[in-house]
Amino acid sequence: MPDPLMHLLAELPIAEPDALLGERIRKRCRARLATRPVRPCASPIRLTNVWQPGIALLGVAYVLEAIVQALRVYGGP
């Protein structure tokens, strides 16, 4: 005897994509993208161009300070 839930699921219609709905959505998206104003970049310097070297500089400073502290503790030259 088959499971009643499986029997009910077998009776459901097969789901198919709605071509008309998909086409309407594509047209609306294309129209929206076409009318969207293009904002010029305020400056050519991006934030990533600034923070990545800054993080690298902080990392180098940290390692150098760690070396200095280690030399003080262990009596380096």
pTM: 0.38
The two three-digit tokens of residue 43, written as one number? 């400056």
Average per-residue pLDDT for the chain: 85
Ranges of beta strands (E only) in the chain are: none
The per-residue pLDDT for 48 is 66
The per-residue pLDDT for 1 is 45
Q: How many helices (H) and strands (E) does the chain have?
A: 3, 0
SS3 7: helix
The residue among 34 and 75 whose pLDDT is bigger is: 34
What span, in angstroms and rounded, lies between the C-alpha atoms of 18 and 36? Answer: 27
The per-residue pLDDT for 57 is 94
Site of tokens 């071509």: 19
The two three-digit tokens of residue 55, written as one number? 């993080």
Q: Where are the domains of the chain?
A: 47-77
pLDDT tens digits, 40-69: 766 666 666 778 888 999 999 999 999 999
